[in-house]
Amino acid sequence: MNIKAVNQRYDENTVVQLPHLYLGLSDIDPYEFVMLLRSFRYQCHEGDVPETKLYKELDWYIGKVCEAYVAGD
């Protein structure tokens, strides 16, 4: 999703294979996790990407994570 958004912003058609990085939720501070999600959403906000189902699900998920963080869950 991020690659598609960047390609639309810079009028490119690049395919990039990125290594997968997995972090356990216990490895990251909840506030930092929220900020990373928000940063990722911002990076994907180009072209028609915000209209995709995946982007909308990401946006919904961020809202739920923020709500849980504020509630202390």
**pTM to 2 decimal places:** 0.69
Q: Which residue has the tokens 């506030």?
A: 31
User: pLDDT of 51-62, one tens digit each?
Assistant: 999 999 999 999
Residue type, 23: L
Residues 6+ apart with CB under 8 A from 47: 4, 5, 8, 9
Q: Range with the lowest mean pLDDT among 4-13, 14-23, 59-68?
A: 14-23
Residue type, 34: V
Please report which confidence band the pLDDT of residue 63 belongs to, taking 50, 70 and 90 as the band edges: very high
Mean pLDDT confidence for 18-28: 66
In angstroms, rounded to a whole number, what is the distance separating the alpha carbons of residues 9 and 49? 11
* pLDDT at residue 35 is higher than 80: yes
